[in-house]
């Protein structure tokens, strides 16, 4: 029975990776819109202010790219590195445990994007369509 369940679930893995990528990228891009435009929450960062404004640009751009599945691996690599940088510069100085230094979300985004670097965008990604057309 476990083998049957494993086989059935495995047949959906590409579609679920696509769903994960789309939701994950959309949520990440919303962090960017918060920093850039103050939407949906929080004040917008002033243009050119380090690191908030530039972080917002990276979060918005890579989030949209990952959500659509365009240049997924490259965008996910940049987003993962950005979140690692964020963790080590903003949270790690307050202690090394993410739950106590408010860095849990940065760590989760870092490793979620790192996963997408290796899995790619899944079946329903712009990258997949581009690959099929060029083949």
Give the tens place of pLDDT for each residue, 68-103: 999 999 999 999 999 999 999 999 999 999 999 999
Q: How far apart are CA 73 and CA 79, in angstroms?
A: 10
Q: What is the pTM of this model?
A: 0.92
Q: What does the domain layout of the chain look like in residue ranges?
A: 16-129
Please report the pLDDT score of residue 1 as a whole number. 64
- Give the Cβ contact number of residue 61 at 10 Å: 15
Quick one: pLDDT band at residue 135, thresholds 50, 70, 90? confident
Q: How far apart are CA 128 and CA 86, in angstroms?
A: 30
Q: Cβ neighbours of residue 70 under 8 Å, at least 6 residues apart? A: 125, 126, 127
Question: What integer pLDDT is reported at residue 55 of this predicted model?
Answer: 96
As a whole-number percent, the residues of the chain with pLDDT over 90 amount to 86
pLDDT at residue 2 above 80? no
For 24-35, write each residue's pLDDT tens digit.
999 999 999 999
Tokens describing residue 40: 């949906």
């Amino acid at each position: 029975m476990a083998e049957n369940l494993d086989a059935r679930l495995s047949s959906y893995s590409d579609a679920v990776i696509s769903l994960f990528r789309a939701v994950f990228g959309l949520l990440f891009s919303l962090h960017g819109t918060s920093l850039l435009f103050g939407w949906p929450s929080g004040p917008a960062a002033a243009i050119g202010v380090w690191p908030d404004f530039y972080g917002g640009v990276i979060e918005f751009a890579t989030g949209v790219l990952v959500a659509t599945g365009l240049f997924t691996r490259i965008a996910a690599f940049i987003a993962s590195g950005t979140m690692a940088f964020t963790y080590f510069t903003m949270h790690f100085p307050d202690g090394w445990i993410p739950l106590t230094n408010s860095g849990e979300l940065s760590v989760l985004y870092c490793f979620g994007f790192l996963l997408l670097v290796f899995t790619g965008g899944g079946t329903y990604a712009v990258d997949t369509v581009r690959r099929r057309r060029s083949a």
